[in-house]
Copies of this chain bind each other. A is one copy, B any other.
Amino acid sequence: MSGLMIESPTHAALPAEPTQASRFGKARSAQSGALLEDYVELISDLLASGGEARPTDIARRLGVAHATAIKTIGRLKREGLAVAKPYRGVFLTEAGEQLAVRVRARHRLVVDLLLAVGVPVEAAESDAEGIEHHVSDVTLEAFARFLRRS
């Protein structure tokens, strides 16, 4: 986790002190990065396996319209995670690669943990996709320890 957290565009100034009970908000804003993480992970996969990461492939794999993919790729570029020249496919920057590595490791860890506690493999894979974006480093370490102990 601690690695995305690019700025925080829409956070002007909540007048009162955070009061304490803002554990909800955190989970919510983690969501912003989730999409970028998915894209980075997928692009990394595509580059690693096939070789090309074209917007159309990305869109299809993600189940969104290609326009949506292109728009998001634009965000990736803005965030310094990817580079792409028109018609030339998408590539990851150094930062993008690093993020991909972290995201992939986290994904595996989450899936492995789910399997370890007895979640069926399809559900584990499927749920991990949503869960992984909300797992803090602390929790991740706990997962790793648990798996080592098993």
Cβ of A38 under 8 Å from chain B: yes
Cross-interface CB contact of A124 among B28, B60, B125, B139, cutoff 8 Å: B139
Query: 7 extra interchain contacts, Cβ-Cβ under 8 A, other than A28-B35, A30-B130, A130-B134?
Result: A19-B60, A23-B129, A31-B130, A118-B145, A119-B143, A123-B138, A127-B135
**Stoichiometry, copies per complex:** 2
Q: Which residues of B contact A67 (CB under 8 A)?
A: none
- State whether B114 touches A139 (Cβ < 8 A): yes
> Judging by beta carbons under 8 Å apart, are B127 and A24 in contact?
no
Give A83-131 interface residues, CB cut-off 8 Å to B: 113-114, 117-120, 123-127, 129-131
Q: Classify chain A: how many residues form its interface, as a range.
A: 35 or more
Asked if A54 is at the interface of the complex by the 8 Å CB criterion, the answer is: no
Complex contact A129–B24 (CB within 8 A): yes
On A, residues with C-beta under 8 Å from B are 14, 16, 18-19, 21-28, 30-31, 35, 38, 60-64, 113-114, 117-120, 123-127, 129-131, 133-136, 138-139, 142-143, 145-146
What is the chain B residue whose CB lies nearest that of A115?
A: B142
